[in-house]
Amino acid sequence: MRFAHVRLPESDEPTLAVIDADTAIPVAGLFNDAPATLQALIAGGDDLLARVRAAAADAGGIPLGDVTFGPAVSTPPVVLAVGLNYAAHSSELGLKADSAPTVFVLWPNSLSAHEETTTWPRTLSESIDYEAELGVVIGRPAKDVAPEDALDHVWGYTVVNDITARDIQFSEAQWSRCKSFDGFTPNGPFVVTADEIPDPQDLHIWAVVDGQTVQDATTGQMIRSVATLVSHLSRSATLLPGTLISTGSPGGAGYSRDPQIFLRDRSTVTVGIDGIGELTTHCRIIG
């Protein structure tokens, strides 16, 4: 199934919807006490998902053209990001992929939605980069799970653009701040349930900036697979339901290009993963 948080014509508050072709079916109207957020749906487990699936099968909806989107993952317990998980990306940044994953946390203010505008002050950075990434949403608590069991704990997948202030990244030892400006973690527009993605290492991932394709790769090029990352992260802390893991970006970052390509005032960047969706962000520089 495919889910999104959408703003209906009569409301400014995003609500959970089933996405069926070009139609959004609000989940809250399917039955009494139906979940209005993805986090509530995940918390309800397999039984709640099955009930939503059955109720949505015969329900009417609203054309997608009549709604706007909120972040697909809007209130996760934590957003964990993995750096240097594609050899081409680590080498183009001149950084070594260590024996263990590079892990950092993204701040909740950075979460934003498809077709939203992300702004930042020129005085903070003029080296803003894009990073297309596969997002993994945890469904069941994961603690010290083996790699062969790790995908059983995945609820679904989404698209993430891990926007990065490169100058700040290379001036600070920790990467959370350079990637956590307001609106720097667009995600969505959809979350696709794990049963729709039989192999998360067999997905085409790409990015287009102002009409130019700048990243074009496959998730099979990850240094560490989704299963390996979930297993590794679960060894030190329980991964709670709803946790979003951004699994790293392939080669083609703007920082490494000659000439460099950074996001400019009025730039438009679209990152996508076949089978999951396309996520567009508009950019404005202020000051």
pLDDT at 87: 86
Predicted confidence (pLDDT) per residue in 167-226, tens digit: 999 999 899 999 999 999 999 999 999 999 999 999 999 999 999 999 999 999 999 999
pLDDT band at 88 (very low <50, low <70, confident <90, very high): confident
Dihedral pair phi/psi, residue 64, rounded to 5°: -60, -30
Predicted confidence (pLDDT) per residue in 96-141, tens digit: 666 788 999 999 999 999 999 999 999 999 999 999 999 999 999 9
Q: What is the pTM of this model?
A: 0.96
pLDDT at 185: 98
| Bridge partner list, 16 | 5
In the predicted structure, residue 148 carries a pLDDT above the cut 70:
yes
Predicted confidence (pLDDT) per residue in 16-74, tens digit: 999 999 999 999 999 999 999 999 999 999 999 999 999 999 999 999 999 999 999 99
Q: Spell out the domains of the chain, with CATH numbers in brackets.
A: 2-69 (no CATH), 79-286 (3.90.850.10)
In the predicted structure, residue 10 carries a pLDDT above the cut 90:
no
pLDDT at 195: 98
SS3 annotation, the chain? CEEEEEECCCCCCCEEEEEECCEEEEHHHCCCCCCCCHHHHHHCHHHHHHHHHHHHCCCCCEEHHHCEECCCCCCCCCEEEEECCEHHHHHHCCCCCCCCCEEEEECHHHEECCCCEEEEECCCCCCEECCEEEEEEECCCECCCCHHHHHHHEEEEEEEECCEEHHHHCCCCCCCHHHCCCCCEEEEEEEEEHHHCCCCCCCEEEEEECCEEEEEEEHHHECCCHHHHHHHHHHHCCECCCCEEECCCCCCCHHHCCCCCCCCCCCEEEEEECCCEEEEEEEEEEC
pLDDT band at 284 (very low <50, low <70, confident <90, very high): very high
